[in-house]
Homo-oligomer: A and B are copies of this chain.
Amino acid sequence: MKSENPTSRDIAQIAGVSQATVSRALRNSPLVRKETREHVQKVARDLHYFVNRNAAGLRTQESKTIALLLFDEIDGTDKKMNLFFWAMLDNITRSAARRGYDVLVSLQQLTADWHIEYQASHRADGLILLGYGDYTEYREKLNALAAAHTRFMIWGPIINDQPGHSFGCDNESGGYQATRHLLSLGRKNVAYLGRKVLRSPEHAARYTGYVAALREAGITPNVTLQVPADNSEAMGYQAVRQLLQKGALFDAIFAGTDLIAIGAMRALADNGISVPQSVSVVGFDDMPLAAYVSPALTTVQQNAQAGAEGLVEGIVGLIKGRPVESKLMAPKLIIRQSCGALATRCGP
C-alpha cells in the first residue's frame, strides 16, 4: 500500500545499482555505461519515477524555472485586451520548455520586493518582464532588481542608463514606417495621437519615428497635430474631438496604439468624416481586433514568436553566464483598409 512516490534509492535497489548511478543514468551522464543507463531508465519509467525537483534544485542551486512578470497597463479599462501579451506568454512558454525551463507567471503586485523574491528564494533562475505599468515605478523596480543581482530580461526598447538587458521591437522604426506609408499615399498633414513622454518609452519611440519620417519628407512637425492620448479607445475618441475643435487640418492619423486608432476612427465616423477617403488611419500593435473593425485597420505588427525567442534566449544566456546583448527587431507594417492604400476610391 506504499503509494508514495518512489525515490532514486528505490530505483537503485530495483535496478541493482547504487543511488549515485541512478542519478547519473537519468541525467544521461557519459560516465555511465550504455546498458546500465538504459536499464536504469527503464526501471525508472516502469515505476513512474520523476526526479524530485526540490532536491535536485537544492543541490544544484538551480530551479530551471523562469518567472514571467506582467506589468499591465493600469489606466484604461481595456487592459484585458492586450492580446499581444497572450501571444508572448504562449511563445515564451514553448521556447522555455524547449530549453528545459518552466515558466512561473505573475500578474500582481504583492509586497514591495516580490519581484526580487523570485530569484532570491530560488523559485526562479531569472525573470522576464513584460509591460511597464507606470515607467517611473517600473524604473525603481529595475534598480532594485539590479541591486539584488537578479537576472532579468526586459521586453522593450533599449533605454539609456536603464539597468539590465532588453529585447524588443524597434518602435521608432515602426513609427517611421507607418508615417512614411501615410506620406507615400499623398497625405500631407499627418496627426499623431498618443503619448510621447518618457514615462512610456515605447510610445515615445513611435513618436520619434513619426517625427523622423516627417523631417525626411521635408515637413516640419506641427504641434497642433499632436494630441496626447493614453492607450484606450476613449482617449482616441477624445483626441480626434480635440483636433476637430481646434479646427486642425489633417488628412491622416498615426495613432500610438490600435485602441487609440479605433477610438479615433469612431470619432471620425461620428463626425461624418470618411476613413480612408478623407482621413487615412494607421495604428500600432496589430491586435486581433484590428482586422475586424471597419474599415480594417492598417497597423504595425510586432512578431511575438521572435520576441519570445529573443527574451528566452537572453535570460537563459544570463543564467548560464554567457554574454548577452540587448537587441531590437524591426516591426512590420500590415496594410489593410484604413489607410486607403487598398481601398478603391469611390468618386464623388
Contacting A54 at CB < 8 Å: which of B94, B122, B293?
B122
* B-side contacts of A123, CB under 8 Å: 53, 102
With A102-B104, A288-B81 as contacts: A110 and B86 at CB distance below 8 Å: no
Query: Which of A44-52, A165-173, A245-253 lies at the interface with chain B?
Result: A44-52
Bound form: Cα–Cα A311–B94 in Å: 24
Q: Please indicate the chain B residues that have their CB under 8 angstroms from the CB of A117 in the complex.
A: 50
A87–B344 alpha-carbon span in the complex (Å): 39
Q: C-beta contact mask, A1-19 vs B, less than 8 Å → 1, else 0?
A: 0010100000000000000
Determine whether the beta carbon of A97 is less than 8 Å from that of B87.
no
Closest Cβ of chain B to A306, distance in Å, is 16
Residue A89, interface by CB 8 Å: yes
| Residue ID in chain B nearest A293 by CB atoms | B292
Provided the pairs A80-B87, A103-B104 are in contact, do residues A54 and B63 lie with their beta carbons within 8 angstroms?
Answer: yes
Is B108 in contact with A93, judged by CB distance below 8 angstroms? yes
Cβ A80 vs Cβ B149 within 8 A:
no
Q: For A104, what are the chain B residues with a Cβ–Cβ distance below 8 Å?
A: 65, 102-105
How far apart are A290's CB and chain B's nearest CB, in angstroms?
11
> Could you pull out 13 A-B pairs where Cβ atoms are within 8 angstroms?
A5-B120, A48-B148, A50-B116, A50-B120, A53-B122, A85-B86, A93-B108, A94-B108, A103-B104, A103-B106, A104-B105, A288-B289, A292-B292
Residues of B contacting A120 with CB < 8 Å? Answer: 5, 48-50
Q: How far is the CB of A69 from chain B (nearest CB, A)?
A: 11
Asked if A223 is at the interface (CB within 8 A of a chain B CB), the reply is no
Considering only residues 117-138 of chain A, those with a C-beta below 8 Å from chain B are 117, 120-123
Contact with B along A58-78 (1 / 0, CB 8 A): 100001010010000000000
Task: Indicate which residue in B3, B58, B81 contacts A149 across the interface (CB closer than 8 Å).
Answer: B3
Nearest to A68 among chain B residues (CB) is B105
Task: Check A90 for interface membership: any CB of B closer than 8 A.
Answer: yes
Within the complex, the shortest CB–CB distance from A167 to chain B, in Å, comes to 20
Contact of B102 with A97 in the complex, beta carbons under 8 Å:
no
Is A29 part of the binding interface, using a Cβ–Cβ cutoff of 8 Å? no
Q: Is the CB of A94 within 8 A of B122?
A: no
Which B residues are in CB contact (< 8 Å) with A5? 120
Of the listed residues A63, A86, A110, the one surrounded by the most CB atoms of chain B closer than 10 A to its CB is A86
Residue A83 lies at the interface, judged by CB distance under 8 Å to chain B: yes
Q: Is the CB–CB distance between B3 and A48 below 8 Å?
A: no
